[in-house]
Amino acid sequence: MTSLAPLFMVASAAVILLLGTVHVLYTFFGVKLHPRESHVRAAMDEGRLVLTRQTTLWRAWIGFNASHGQGAILFGLVFGFLALQAPALLFGSVFLRAVGLAMLLTYLVLAHRYWFKVPFRGIALATVLYVVACVLAAG
């Protein structure tokens, strides 16, 4: 395994960690993840899910965004840690490499289909860095 493989993996993890951290900050501070139209926010405050009456659409929205950002942070921390502290484990495990790639590809498809260009570009960059790391580790 080349010594560059862990560095590319850390770079990939750092991109996702940054995106997740920004997402959590935007969830709880400011209005970047709020609807532009105030009546939509009011409707979300009043709207209930069919699944349960225990929460509103707005509260679910905040929770979904927070947990989504938290998942990206976890990915960045775990894969960054493994690349630095246990690269033989990470690059020697087909399971870990497949799970990481599947996660990134899933985020990439979601970003392309449902989100906007900044997360899509960041996730695309992270995916390329991840694949380069895996190719370098195999070579």
| pLDDT of amino acid 65 | 94
What residues contact 24, with CB distance under 8 A and at least 6 apart?
Answer: 65, 66, 69, 70, 73
Write down the pTM of the prediction: 0.91
Number of domains composing the chain: 1
User: 112 and 128 in contact (C-beta within 8 Å)?
Assistant: no
Distance between start and end Cα atoms, the chain: 6
| pLDDT of amino acid 52 | 85
The owner of tokens 């020697």 is 92
Domain of residue 74 covers 4-138
Coil, helix or strand at residue 86? coil
The owner of tokens 């495990």 is 93
The owner of tokens 């087909």 is 94
| pLDDT of amino acid 132 | 97
Q: List the pLDDT tens digit at each of the 139 positions of the chain.
A: 668 999 999 999 999 999 999 999 999 998 998 999 999 999 999 999 888 888 999 999 999 999 999 999 999 999 999 999 999 999 999 999 999 999 999 999 999 999 889 999 999 999 999 999 999 999 8
